[in-house]
Each structure stands twice: as C-alpha cells, then as structure tokens.
Amino acid sequence: MAEEKKGRAVATSTAASIPKFVRGNLSATLKAKEEGKKVAAAFIADGQDEIMRAMDIVPAWGESFSGVCAAKRDAEKYLQKAESDNFSRSLCTYATCNIGFDMMREELGHAPEGAPWGGMARPDMMLGNGQLLCDPRFKWPQATQHYQQDVPVFVTNMYYPPWDPSGDHHEVEALYVKYAKEELHETVKFCEKITGKKMDWDRLAATVELSDKTWDLFIDTYELRKHHPTPMDTGDAMNTMVPLTFNLGTQEAYDFYVSLKAELEQKIKDGVGVANPEKYRVIWAAGLPSWFALGDFQYFNGKGVVFPVEVTYRGCEKVERLDLPKTNDPLEHIAWRWVRYWTHWYDAAKKRPGSTPKVERIIEYIEDYDCDGAVFHSAFSCRSWHAGIMQQAATLKKVYKDIPILIMEGDIVDISSYNEADTHNRIDAFIETLAAYKAKKG
C-alpha cells in the first residue's frame, strides 16, 4: 500500500517497512503449502485472528490484495472479469477485485500474469464473518465458492449490542458475550476439521495475551501523536495499521509498534513534525481512503494541514479502559474484548442527548488531539463504512462546536470515480474554512 504511482513519502521510516509486511503476508500464502500449513481466506477485524495464528493457519487477506491492486492502479482487469459473470459494478470493489482474480486463477490453474507481487494462493478454506460491520464479509466468500466449489466456507457471527439511546447495553452484554464465545467455538471446530489438528488452548491463550499487549502498545504509540507538532499523520497510519490489522497475534506485529513508538518519541524529542509549519490539525473522522490516491495526504501536508488522529483502522483501545472481567478462557476473553470495544463509546453518547457513539469517539479524539476540523471520506462501493456518514457529520455539528467538516467522495479501489483536480479543489476550499475557524477560535 505504500507503493503507488505518486511515490508518497512516508513520514516515518518505520512505516517504510510496511511493504515488506504486506508482501510478506501475500507470499506467506504462496509458501504455505510447502510449509505444510493451511491457507484461509479471511477478513480483517473479525475477531478470528488469534484462532488462526494459534493454529498456524495462514490468512489470505483479500482486502490487502485489493488494496495493493488499487494502490498500483491495477485493479481494472479483475473488476472486469468479475463483471463478465454479472457481478454488478456497484458491489464492494474489494470483493469484486478479488473474485475476478480468483476466477482468473481458477481458469489458468495459476496466478494470472502480472498479478501484484505474485498474487495470493488458492485457499483451503474461507472464514467469513456476519457482524454489524459489513455484508460482503459473508457474501464475498459465499460468492467465491461458486468458482472454487471444493473450498469450504465458514461464517462466524460476531455481534455486539446495537446502539439504543433509550436502552442500556450493559443489560444485554452477557447475552452477546455468550453468543460471541459460542460462535468462536464453532469457528475453532471448523478450523480443527480443515487442518486436522486440535487447538492448542495454551498457545491460544498466549496469542490472545500478545494481541492484548499489541492493542495497548498501539494506543500508547498513537497517543504520542497528540504532540504539537504531530510526529505522524493519517497518511502514515494507513500504512502503520497493517501489523495490527493483518498480523495481530504475531511477535512481528508487536515489534513493529515498539520500533514505531521509539521513532515517534525521537521525533518529539527532536521537534520534528509531519508539516512544518503545522497550521491546522484535522481528524480523519470516518471512511476508508482511496488507496490509489494516498498522495492526497501529502497534498494536505504541503498546505500545513496534518491528521494527528483517525478513526479508520484504529480498531483497538487500551485493554484496561475496557474493564474486562477476568477469565481463563481465551475465547471468552476475545468475546468480552470484542463486545466492550464496540460499545466503548455508548456511555458517553448516553450522557449527551442527540449524540451517537461514533460521534462521541470523534469528539474524544478532537479534544485529545486538539483538532480544528474533520474530514470524512465516502466511498461509493462501500455501504458498510460509508452509509451513515452524513448523519455522523450532521450530529457532530449539532452536539459539538461548529467545526469545519469536509465530506470527500470517491472509492476505495475503483479509480474511474476519482478526479484529482476536483479533489484538490475541494481540499483547498476546506482549508480556507479551517483558516476562518481557527482565526475565530483564537
């Protein structure tokens, strides 16, 4: 994802090691067979990481692959292949890019020529997830099975209590934790069946402990970005999220954040910021970025605008803040962590009439990171992350201060929706409103 035509320079040298992670994840799938490991097509932030890592199952991250294709501006042929069998262009382009690739690999018997970094291996299983996040997470593997009919698909249903301003989620927490735990158990049973191996529960417990530590380290590292000037912005975070998102439960992921934290601490000591001078600080409030246009962050930086904090791909919180009940059962721990993370901002929203948890999270970050404005990105093929952004922006305006808000429109993978000149124009106009707001703020 760091490698794209614009040659976006990352502000941190640690982030420069990310392509190795991404590439390593793809090639791990290609090497798995000879290493005697099973490959599972999987999707991020679904609570299944530790189970896979503890069983030496190699995840084939479709979302990473599509992101790479998009960043290299080489997704079109896969999208067209999917379209040729009647997958609509309006569907999630992460999915259709992968499905197109899988269709080609199936027809050819090997990865198609020119596949970024050799592509991904044919999986032995697909682990989907039906949660409150995203329908493609169970429709996509199901649709892929039409072209890989011998590859079994399992869908874990990881739910958390929905937001209800008139209810109390604490009353139903136990129900959701029980359900999540049972679903995780079913997931383990499925993985045992496919791998032919039993789960090593001690190893799972150790993996969960490591992922807890990684969560904590991640937050400790990112909170260094509160500093003025910020030592790292969202442009980098769209890279540095990779280990947490794709390699959770591994030592490499943990070690990455050790390096990143050290680098940020050094930058703070040396007074080095992303933009010099740093004129405005903005939160990336929601939305997946356009992977082919990460250079836009540099455009912002060039005008003195930095993003010290983002909601996207910050899929964790300090474990102590979640106040998790003690348990010896690693699956139960994952379940509690899952439910408490996703409901973490509910209490704050209850205290502020008219607010919603997503908005409370944005407000918390605006205050902690001293932001002057908010940017949302609405990707047309992704209802999961982008339906509801208008409501978030409107609620933020209503319950908080009148800070400048920009809603950008584009897509995650499909470049035909992107117009650079137009985007830069909108950014320029937004920066003018930031100037006006800051002047008023004093």
Partner 1 sequence: MTDIQNGNGLAAAEKFYAQYGSRARELKASGKKVIGYLSALGPVEIMTAAGVLPIRLKGNVSEAVTKGDAYMETIVCPFVRNVFDAAVKGKYDFLDGMVLPHQCDSIDRTNETWSYTLNLPYWHFLNLPHVADDPSIAFTQEILRIFVRSLEKYTGNKITDEAIAKAVAAHNQNRKLMRDLYDLRKSNPPLISGVEMMKVCVAAMSLPVEESSALIESVIKEVKGRAPAAGDPAAKRIMIIGDQIDDIAVIEAIESTGAYLVMDDLSTGSKMYWQDVDATPDPLRGIAERYMRKLKIPTTFIGSAPTYQGILEERFGHMKNYVQDFKVDGVILFIYKYCDPYGFEVPAIKSYVEAAGAPVLYLEDEYSTSSLARIKTRIEAFLEMIA
Partner 2 sequence: MDYFAGVDIGSTMTKVVIVSGRIESSLIGPTGPEHRKLANRVMEEALGQARLSFDDLTYIVATGYGRINVPFADRQITEITCHAKGLQSLLPSVKTVIDVGGQDSKGIKILNGKVMNFVMNDKCAAGTGRFLEIIADSLGVPLDKIGEISLTAEKIAPVSSTCTVFAEAEIISRLATGEPIANLIAGIHDAVATRIASMVKKLNVEPDIAVTGGGAKNIGLVKALGSKFGRELLVPPEPLITGALGAALMGKDIYEKYAAEGQKPTRIGKKLEEATFFK
Amino acid (1-letter code) at residue 380: F
Whole-number minimum distance, CB 183 to partner 1, in Å? 6
In DSSP terms, 373 is beta-bridged to 282
Task: Closer to partner 1 by CB, 78 or 215: give it.
Answer: 78
Specify whether the CB–CB gap between 124 and 191 falls below 8 A: no
Residue ranges in 397-416 that form contacts with partner 2 under rule CB under 8 A: 415-416
Measured between alpha carbons, how far is 316 from 357 in angstroms, rounded to an integer? 15
Measured between alpha carbons, how far is 225 from 263 in angstroms, rounded to an integer? 12
Residue 387 binding partner 1, by CB under 8 A: yes
Buried/exposed code over 335-374 (b: 16+ C-beta within 10 A; e: otherwise): bbbbbbbbbbbbeebbeeeebbbbbbbbbebbeebebbbb
Tell which one of 6, 37, 76, 145 touches partner 1 (CB under 8 A).
Answer: 145
Task: Closer to partner 2 by CB, 13 or 419: give it.
Answer: 419
Residue 399 binding partner 1, by CB under 8 A: no
Tell which one of 3, 74, 83, 182 touches partner 2 (CB under 8 A).
Answer: 83
Tell which one of 391, 402, 419, 432 touches partner 1 (CB under 8 A).
Answer: 391
Residue 251 binding partner 2, by CB under 8 A: no
Tokens of 105: 């690999």
How many chain residues interact with partner 2 (CB under 8 A)?
11
Residue 424 binding partner 2, by CB under 8 A: no
Residue 86 binding partner 1, by CB under 8 A: yes
From the list 161-169, 257-265, 289-297, 301-309, the region that binds partner 1 by CB under 8 A is 161-169
Measured between alpha carbons, how far is 361 from 284 in angstroms, rounded to an integer? 12
Residue ranges in 143-172 that form contacts with partner 2 under rule CB under 8 A: none
Task: Closer to partner 2 by CB, 149 or 416: give it.
Answer: 416
Residue 419 binding partner 2, by CB under 8 A: yes
Select from 187, 29, 6, 5 the least CA-distant residue to 98: 29
In DSSP terms, 419 is beta-bridged to none
Residue 123 binding partner 1, by CB under 8 A: no
Measured between alpha carbons, how far is 335 from 340 in angstroms, rounded to an integer? 9
Specify whether the CB–CB gap between 258 and 217 falls below 8 A: yes
Tell which one of 9, 31, 84, 165 touches partner 2 (CB under 8 A).
Answer: 84
In DSSP terms, 305 is beta-bridged to 280
Task: Closer to partner 2 by CB, 147 or 437: give it.
Answer: 147
From the list 6-14, 144-152, 290-298, 304-312, the region that binds partner 1 by CB under 8 A is 144-152
Tokens of 322: 């979640």
Tell which one of 162, 255, 426, 432 touches partner 1 (CB under 8 A).
Answer: 162
Specify whether the CB–CB gap between 298 and 235 falls below 8 A: yes
Residue 92 binding partner 1, by CB under 8 A: yes
Residue ranges in 281-300 that form contacts with partner 2 under rule CB under 8 A: none
Task: Transcribe 336-350 into DSSP letters.
Answer: HHHHHHHTTTHHHHH
List residues binding partner 2 (CB under 8 A): 73, 80, 83-86, 415-417, 419, 421
